[in-house]
């Protein structure tokens, strides 16, 4: 049986939580094919490479898991980069007929500029809470 491929999407500042979730997912039988890492060396080159690799991994995944953890006093924080990753996965699903499941671990944030969109996507069943 093929392991389901999953990408963790999160602020890199949640390094400990990312590693914890990576282990949890692997224990549940997932193959974690990508997760955020801190850029080493030249930030411009490193960021460009990491950015491209992360999006390519999303396109090869069965699912993404958004670690929307409280940050800067915002419960369920989803930063603009992670919002873009969610939109990318949904865009692939809607435009190319892919079936990348999109999960989050905490209730969606209510006070971000794109909170309404996230709520709408959840109402449509395009994103869901991870069980």
Task: State how far the Cα of 57 lies from the Cα of 5, in Å rounded to an integer.
Answer: 9
Question: What are 66-95's pLDDT values in tens digits?
Answer: 999 999 899 999 999 999 999 999 999 999
Half-sphere exposure at residue 12, Cβ-oriented, CA atoms within 13 angstroms? 11
More confident residue, 45 or 111: 111
User: For the domain with range 5-129, which CATH number is right: 3.40.50.720, 3.40.50.450, 3.40.50.880, 3.90.1150.10?
Assistant: 3.40.50.450
pLDDT number for residue 42 = 76
126 pLDDT higher than 90: yes
**Mean pLDDT, rounded, for 11-32:** 96
Concatenating the DSSP letter of every residue in 48-62 gives HHHHHHHHHHHHH-S
Mean pLDDT, the chain, integer? 94
């Amino acid at each position: 049986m093929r392991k389901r491929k999953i990408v963790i999407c999160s602020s890199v500042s949640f390094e400990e939580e990312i590693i914890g979730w990576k282990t949890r997912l692997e224990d549940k039988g997932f193959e974690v094919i990508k997760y955020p890492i801190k850029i080493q060396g030249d930030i411009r080159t490193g960021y460009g490479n990491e950015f491209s690799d992360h999006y390519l991994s999303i396109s090869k995944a069965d699912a993404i898991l958004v670690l929307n953890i409280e940050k800067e006093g915002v419960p369920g924080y989803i930063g603009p980069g992670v919002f873009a990753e969610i939109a990318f996965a949904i865009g692939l699903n809607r435009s190319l007929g892919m079936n990348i499941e999109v999960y989050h671990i905490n209730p969606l944030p209510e006070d971000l500029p794109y909170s309404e969109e996230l709520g709408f996507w959840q109402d449509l069943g395009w994103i869901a809470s991870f069980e």
